[in-house]
Amino acid sequence: MQSIRPKPAKKRKHAAMTRIPGRPAKPSPKLSGKRRRVSPEIGEIVRKRAEAEAAIADARKSQERLREAIDILPQGIVFLDADGRYILWNKKYSEIYNRSSDLFKPGARLQDTLRVGVARGEYPEAVGREEEWITERLARMYQPGARHEQTLADGRCILIEERLTEDGGVVGLRVDITELKQREASFRLLFDSNPVPMIVCALDDERILGVNDAAIEHYGYSRAEFEKLTIRSVQAFETELPWGGDRSSDEQTARTWKHVRADGALIDLAIYSRQLVCHDQPAVLLALMDITERKRAEARLAFMAQHDGLTGLPNRNLLRQQMDDILLHTRRSAEKVAVLVLGLDNFKAVNDTLGHGIGDKLLRGVAKRLRSTLREEDTLARLNSDEFAIIQSGLTRPEDAVLLSRRLLEAIGDPYLLDGHSVVIGASIGIAMAPGDGDESEKLLKNADMALSRAKNEQRGTFSFFEAGMDARAQSRRKIEIDLRDAIQNDVLLPYYQPLVDLATGRITGFEALVRWPHPDRGMVSPAEFIPVAEETGLINPLGALMLRRACADAALWPDDVRIAVNLSPLQFRVGNLLSMVMDVLKQTGLPARRLELEITETLLLEKSSQVLATLHALRALGVRISMDDFGTGYSSLSYLRSFPFDKIKIDQSFVRDLGSNRDAQAIVRSIISLGMGLGVTITAEGVETEAELSCLRAEGCHEGQGFLFSRARPNAEIVALLQAQRGPEFVAPQDPSEDAALVA
Ligand code: C2E
Ligand code: MG
Ligand code: MG
């Protein structure tokens, strides 16, 4: 659009406006006097006039140059005189006010053009308060450095900046900031309605200058409260500022921060920052992502990776780290470190008989007792289901580990009352000492574990130190497992039979089947050596099934009044098919159920499990007899007698062995016998080796005996001979009797 410019100063009136200050305009010499007679005065006038014309031409030129100069400015510019009249303006100025540019005329007063503009509705801010608006607008003009924004009818926004000139006039600048304003408005919208909490705060004093609705909702402070705070005051800890104290850079990547909400809760935030100018001051915009839940989940995961979920104790990973630290720390000192691995005895039986719920409670109870027995600085961890590890540091002698082991075993041993059940659990401990038994966590744990195996195998409920050579034993144990698996697969295992003798008549009432393993390299391997390995590895199930089948098949060919006793491991009750297996075997071998006796140990009845008791009752309902083996070696043997109606009690051989020498043993055997009589149960004494024991047992009224005095366990081929020797022609052997070694008394 074409601008309307002030016309060149042709008339005096106009010339006065462009007059160079201090030089009054002179009348033109052309207009006065005659040419012919040129007096010296006239000559002077003519010269002065020429000078003046030259000056005017100069002034015009410079005004022209000034206009050209201001025309290329990107801002609108206007000069007004002291009366507020237009002197000069540039193209941009006319463009900005294009609608009222017809009013701009040199000498026209701004207030008049404003008034016309207002009347034409060109200033929406003036609507309804026209005169007031004009007065305010003019008053602003004379405020030094005044700056304000003006909205035009077409929606454009103009920034006005005006300054007084030396002669009392005004130079005004106009900048079209419409785009800027639009950007600002969209930023505001983006800020205010953003679902991400946002805060703007001053870079200098960290004051919060603005917050969006999401921030108000998230933090719980009102807008007014917020604006009284600094960003530092919502930080949970006195640390560097979210924008890292670096004023020059924006944070593209988030920093994580902890803030305090109005309710006092701490929240974790990932903060992105961007520097900007807000209300003319350097500020920073913070976008806050609440990562509290993520952090919590991460912390939970990190905890879970290093702790046991059930007891909350460190797991093997964390234990190893802690042990490495301790070992590093003590490497240069004379201190010793003891690594104790504690294993619960028969924990599986608790789990199986009472259920996992009680098993879990028991483990928590054990963990609690262990923790309270230890010093603060001792480390306790759970290694696996029923094994715990303890690191005792700062020891001077191994005896300290002995004392601690005793305390731990004692603490664990007291009964636990769990959901109305009184549960007793024992434990064994293996100990390895650093630096002697190893200086790395893995090796120490392995060695302590080996010592634990020894404690468990030799005498449960005690502790055992690692010794050189245990490793070899552990290896031989592994070899047993491999060989045993082969032996079962190749049907190498054999039942041997040991007679049970009626002490009143001397007659053989039955035989106990005892497994024998003829090993190609080692000769006959004792069950005491491989039954525990079979139980640990689960091989006891095929082994037990095999023994039952073989024993019943053999016994089916013996006289009808001779029973067969077969040992059952508690683990065979866990598989769940015991009852049907027994029924199958009886059916297939044709052995009447009344001739089968199943021997169970007290560990099976550690606690009354409905499943175990149901199986026992079902077996008994078939007609099978149930014997309690090794009676007196468990924790609460008497109470087990109440839980199931046993047909037979076998007094453990440890009591029988002491009969001759120990009066207490005599008293115990006597009471077991009278107890059995009272309950109407057969009493069998195991391990009868001497005549003295035999006569003592007879005198006490014991029903049955089993022991080397009568016979060792023998292969089936010898049983036939044995029975024939005792019973004579009454017993017709199914095959030729071989040599008869021992005779029944
Ligand atoms: P147990 O059931 O108490 O069997 C009695 C053990 O005492 C047998 O040991 C037997 O040889 C031994 N014994 C018998 N009379 C005497 C004696 O006068 N003096 C001495 N010192 N010992 C005597 P064995 O055969 O070594 O069996 C040990 C244990 O292995 C058995 O104890 C039983 O718990 C287990 N076992 C044996 N065979 C089997 C089986 O087929 N299945 C299961 N689950 N366990 C079995
Ligand atoms: Mg037995
Ligand atoms: Mg026994």
**Residues 182-191: tens digit of each pLDDT:** 988 888 888 9
Same fold: 309-466 with 479-727 = no
The finding on whether 609 has its CB within 6 A of some atom of ligand 1 is no
Q: Is the pLDDT at 276 greater than 70, yes or no?
A: yes
Ligand 1 centroid vs 569 CA: distance in angstroms?
12
Q: Is 632 left (phi over 0), alpha (psi -120 to 50) or beta?
A: left
Which residues keep their CB under 5 angstroms from ion ligand 3? 629-630, 686
**What stretches of 513-562 show up as alpha helix (H) in DSSP?**
527-537, 540-555
The finding on whether 531 has its CB within 6 A of some atom of ligand 1 is yes
- Output the pLDDT for position 553: 97
Confidence of residue 124 (pLDDT cuts 50, 70, 90): very high
Give the range among 124-128, 242-246, 343-347, 561-565 with minimum mean pLDDT: 242-246
- Output the pLDDT for position 244: 57
Confidence of residue 636 (pLDDT cuts 50, 70, 90): low
The finding on whether 630 has its CB within 6 A of some atom of ligand 1 is yes
- Output the pLDDT for position 19: 40
- Output the pLDDT for position 8: 43
Which residues keep their CB under 5 angstroms from ion ligand 2? 567, 599, 629
Atom of ligand 1 nearest to the CA of 544: 42
The finding on whether 539 has its CB within 6 A of some atom of ligand 1 is no
What amino acid occupies position 474?
A
540-555 vs 527-537: helix crossing angle, rounded to 10: 130
What mean pLDDT comes out for the span 33-48?
76
Euclidean distance between CA atoms 444 and 320, whole angstroms:
10
Phi, psi (rounded to 5 degrees) for 516? -130, 140
Distance spanning both ends of the chain, measured CA to CA: 140
What mean pLDDT comes out for the span 686-707?
94
The finding on whether 31 has its CB within 6 A of some atom of ligand 1 is no
The finding on whether 634 has its CB within 6 A of some atom of ligand 1 is no
- Output the pLDDT for position 18: 40
Euclidean distance between CA atoms 208 and 192, whole angstroms:
15
Write the CATH number of the domain with boundaries 181-295: 3.30.450.20
Q: Is the pLDDT at 246 greater than 80, yes or no?
A: no
What amino acid occupies position 221?
Y
Average pLDDT taken over every residue of the chain: 86
Residue 256 tokens read as 């994580």
Ligand 1 centroid vs 515 CA: distance in angstroms?
8
21 or 102, which is more confident?
102
- Output the pLDDT for position 743: 37
Q: Quick check: bond before 435 cis, omega within 30?
A: yes
Class of domain 309-466: alpha beta
Ligand 2 centroid vs 10 CA: distance in angstroms?
140
What mean pLDDT comes out for the span 369-377?
93
Q: Give the closest residue (by CA) to ligand 1 atom 22.
A: 687
Euclidean distance between CA atoms 477 and 404, whole angstroms:
29
Strand partners, 259: 235, 267
Q: Is the pLDDT at 225 greater than 70, yes or no?
A: yes
- Output the pLDDT for position 5: 43
Atom of ligand 1 nearest to the CA of 599: 2
- Output the pLDDT for position 35: 53
SS3 breakdown of the chain: % helix, strand, coil, rounded to 5? 45, 25, 30
**Residue ranges per domain, the chain?**
68-176, 181-295, 309-466, 479-727
Report the residue among 457, 514, 581 best suited for mutation to probe ligand 1: largest number of ligand atoms under 8 A from its CB.
Answer: 514
Q: Is the pLDDT at 248 greater than 90, yes or no?
A: no
CA-based R_g, the chain, Å: 54
Contact 289, 196 (CB under 8 A): yes
Give the range among 346-355, 408-417, 486-495 with minimum mean pLDDT: 346-355
Euclidean distance between CA atoms 620 and 617, whole angstroms:
5
- Output the pLDDT for position 67: 87
Q: Is the pLDDT at 472 greater than 90, yes or no?
A: no
Q: Spell out the residues 6+ positions from residue 335 whose beta carbon is closer than 8 angstroms to its own.
A: 393, 394, 395, 396
Query: Sign of the C-alpha dihedral, residues 659, 664, 666, 669?
Result: negative
Q: Give the closest residue (by CA) to ligand 1 atom 24.
A: 527
What mean pLDDT comes out for the span 724-728?
81
Q: 479-727 belongs to which homologous superfamily? A: EAL domain (3.20.20.450)
3-state SS, residue 234: helix
CA distances from 156 to 91, 124, 293 (A): 17, 11, 47
Query: Sign of the C-alpha dihedral, residues 667, 672, 678, 680?
Result: negative
Q: Is the pLDDT at 22 greater than 80, yes or no?
A: no
Report the residue among 511, 572, 686 best suited for mutation to probe ligand 1: largest number of ligand atoms under 8 A from its CB.
Answer: 686
Q: Is the pLDDT at 735 greater than 50, yes or no?
A: no
Number of H-type helices and E-type strands within the chain: 25, 27
Which option is the CATH number for 68-176: 3.90.1150.10, 3.30.1300.10, 3.40.50.300, 3.30.450.20? 3.30.450.20
Ligand 1 centroid vs 514 CA: distance in angstroms?
6
Euclidean distance between CA atoms 300 and 690, whole angstroms:
66
The finding on whether 535 has its CB within 6 A of some atom of ligand 1 is no
Taking only the tens place, the pLDDT of each residue in 307-359 is 999 999 999 999 999 999 999 888 877 788 999 999 998 888 888 888 899 99
Residue 319 tokens read as 């234990």
415 or 471, which is more confident?
415
Ligand 3 centroid vs 381 CA: distance in angstroms?
37
- Output the pLDDT for position 741: 36
Euclidean distance between CA atoms 118 and 139, whole angstroms:
17
- Output the pLDDT for position 457: 77
The finding on whether 598 has its CB within 6 A of some atom of ligand 1 is no
Euclidean distance between CA atoms 91 and 76, whole angstroms:
7
Euclidean distance between CA atoms 257 and 243, whole angstroms:
11
Any idea which ligand is nearest the CA of 656?
1
Q: Spell out the residues 6+ positions from residue 487 whose beta carbon is closer than 8 angstroms to its own.
A: 493, 517, 519
- Output the pLDDT for position 256: 74
Ligand 2 centroid vs 629 CA: distance in angstroms?
5
Q: Give the closest residue (by CA) to ligand 1 atom 13.
A: 687
Burial of 322 (0-12, 13-18, 19+ CB in 10 A): middle
Share of the chain above pLDDT 70, in %: 89
What amino acid occupies position 30?
K
6 or 614, which is more confident?
614
Euclidean distance between CA atoms 200 and 231, whole angstroms:
9
The finding on whether 716 has its CB within 6 A of some atom of ligand 1 is no
Euclidean distance between CA atoms 696 and 674, whole angstroms:
14
Q: Give the closest residue (by CA) to ligand 1 atom 46.
A: 567
Q: Residue with structure tokens 């009392």?
A: 168
Q: Which residues of 116-135 are buried (b: 16+ CB within 10 A; e: fewer)?
A: ebbeeebbeebeeeeeebbe
Q: Is the pLDDT at 478 greater than 70, yes or no?
A: yes
The finding on whether 693 has its CB within 6 A of some atom of ligand 1 is no
Confidence of residue 51 (pLDDT cuts 50, 70, 90): very high
The edge-to-edge listing of strands for the beta sheet with 251-260 is 208-211, 198-202, 281-290, 266-278, 251-260
Q: Spell out the residues 6+ positions from residue 91 whose beta carbon is closer than 8 angstroms to its own.
A: 3, 71
Share of the chain above pLDDT 90, in %: 53
Euclidean distance between CA atoms 155 and 31, whole angstroms:
54
Residue 723 tokens read as 């029975």
